[in-house]
């Protein structure tokens, strides 16, 4: 009996240890409405408010700001498309030639000024020469001569300055020399009582000789500076004053002779020639020019004011002439003696300088003696 009970307990234990299959789902039971009875319905329980969490358990929610993006900017207007300028017209030049030329139509900066000078001289000289062929005033030879003269001289100057470099100082000197040559030709023709046609030809020829002589002598413009132009102008100015005073004295001594303007017309060319020769050894500065202009003019003006009320024209002219020439000579001499020479160029720092020096050396046993000999000091 006891053995039978034990076997039943073991079988029950083995059955409980094996997995049991889930029962099949039963179909839901249909909902049946509650019975219509007069029994009172039960009220639903009142919902309770949720209990507040303790303070120590309250966690502050973390807040991460969301970056705001700026509104898109309006697109900037696009720059206008660049179009290269059209190519210039003119004679073709290589890049090497254009690098050293002043412009496409001129070799140097003074070329345009030279062309203007020649055109004006051609108009004046050609018109003067053309008027000599129109004695009765019935033709337009004056206009024809002016146009031919301007075109001829202008074309020649254009060709010259295109191939030959002309600096600004060189063109200024050429203009002054052409005007002085024009005046000298008129003065020379008046002295010899030449006719109008010969006077016009001589004056036009002298103007061209003076212009091209200065261009040839100062070719390149490297030897002409502002001080040289000032000195040439200075000597030309005082030449006109001195010639005018001499003619004034001669006219006062011989009133029947009449005043002759020819020396005054020829004086500028002579003064420019003298100034050109003096500009070779001399180089004046601004103070020298101020003294050479102011001192002689002030002294001669004082002499004129003192002599005019007390004497005649001849004596007044002599007093002014003597004062002018003496004060000009003294001022020029003092200026030449006191003016500083051109500063010496410092030697290059990279060039070594060799200087002979005596050398003394210790000689003999234990260097107890002395020996003297020549040496060279080299300074870098």
CB count within 10 Å of CB 145 equals: 23
- For residue 50, being part of any structural domain is answered with no
Indicate whether 194 belongs to any domain. yes
Whether residues 294 and 319 share a domain: the answer is yes
Contact between residue 182 and residue 203 where contact means Cβ atoms under 8 Å apart: yes
As a whole number of Å, the CA-based R_g of the chain is: 57
Flag whether 14 is in a domain.
no
67 lies in some domain: no
For every one of its 380 residues, what pLDDT tens digit does the chain have, with 9 covering 90 and above? Answer: 566 677 676 766 655 655 555 444 455 555 555 555 544 555 555 656 555 555 544 455 555 556 566 666 666 666 667 777 666 665 555 655 555 777 778 888 888 999 999 999 999 999 888 888 876 767 788 888 899 999 999 999 999 988 888 888 888 889 999 999 999 999 889 888 888 889 999 999 999 999 988 888 887 555 678 888 888 999 999 999 999 888 888 888 887 677 788 888 899 999 998 888 888 888 888 888 888 889 999 999 999 898 888 777 888 888 999 999 999 989 988 887 776 555 555 545 556 666 766 666 777 676 766 666 667 677 76
Q: What is the pTM of this model?
A: 0.59
> What letter does residue 360 receive in the DSSP assignment?
E
Query: 221, 244, 270: which is the final residue of a domain?
Result: 221
379 by DSSP, 3-state: which? strand
Angle between helices 168-191 and 226-253 (to 10 degrees): 20
Identify whether residues 241 and 336 lie together within a single domain: yes
In this structure, the answer to whether residues 231 and 187 fall within a common structural domain is: no
What distance in Å separates the CA atoms of residue 315 and residue 247, rounded to the nearest whole number? 13
* Statement to judge: residues 260 and 304 lie in one domain: yes
C-beta of residue 198 within 8 angstroms of C-beta of residue 129: no
């Amino acid at each position: 009996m006891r053995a039978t009970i034990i076997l039943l307990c073991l079988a029950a234990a083995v059955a409980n240890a094996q997995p049991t299959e889930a029962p099949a789902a039963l179909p839901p039971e249909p909902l049946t409405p509650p019975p219509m009875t007069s029994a009172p319905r039960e009220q639903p329980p009142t919902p309770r408010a949720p209990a507040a969490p303790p303070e120590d358990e309250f966690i502050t929610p973390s807040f991460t700001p969301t970056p705001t993006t700026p509104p898109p900017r309006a697109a900037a207007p696009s720059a206008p498309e660049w179009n290269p300028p059209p190519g210039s017209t003119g004679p073709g030049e290589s890049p090497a030639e254009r690098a050293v030329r002043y412009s496409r139509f001129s070799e140097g900066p003074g070329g345009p000024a030279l062309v203007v000078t020649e055109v004006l001289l051609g108009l004046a000289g050609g018109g003067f020469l053309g008027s000599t062929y129109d004695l009765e005033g019935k033709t337009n030879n004056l206009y024809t001569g002016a146009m031919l003269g301007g075109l001829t001289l202008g074309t020649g100057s254009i060709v010259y300055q295109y191939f030959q470099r002309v600096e600004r100082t060189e063109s200024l000197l050429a203009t002054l020399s052409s005007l002085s040559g024009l005046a000298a030709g008129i003065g020379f023709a008046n002295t010899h009582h030449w006719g109008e046609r010969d006077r016009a030809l001589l004056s036009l020829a002298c103007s061209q000789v003076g212009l091209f002589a200065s261009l040839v002598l100062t070719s390149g413009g490297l030897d002409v500076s502002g001080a040289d132009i000032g000195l040439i102008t200075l000597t030309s100015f005082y030449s006109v004053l001195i010639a005018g005073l001499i003619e004034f004295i001669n006219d006062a001594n011989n009133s029947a002779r009449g005043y002759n303007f020819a020396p005054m017309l020829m004086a500028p060319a002579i003064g420019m020639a003298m100034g050109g020769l003096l500009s070779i050894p001399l180089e004046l500065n601004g103070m020298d020019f101020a003294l050479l202009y102011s001192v002689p003019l002030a002294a001669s003006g004082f002499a004129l004011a003192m002599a005019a009320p007390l004497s005649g024209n001849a004596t007044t002219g002599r007093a002014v002439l003597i004062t002018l020439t003496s004060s000009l000579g003294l001022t020029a001499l003092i200026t030449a003696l006191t003016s500083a020479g051109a500063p010496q160029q410092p030697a290059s720092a990279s060039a070594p300088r060799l200087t002979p020096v005596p050398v003394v050396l210790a000689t003999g046993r234990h260097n107890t003696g002395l020996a003297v000999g020549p040496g060279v000091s080299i300074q870098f």
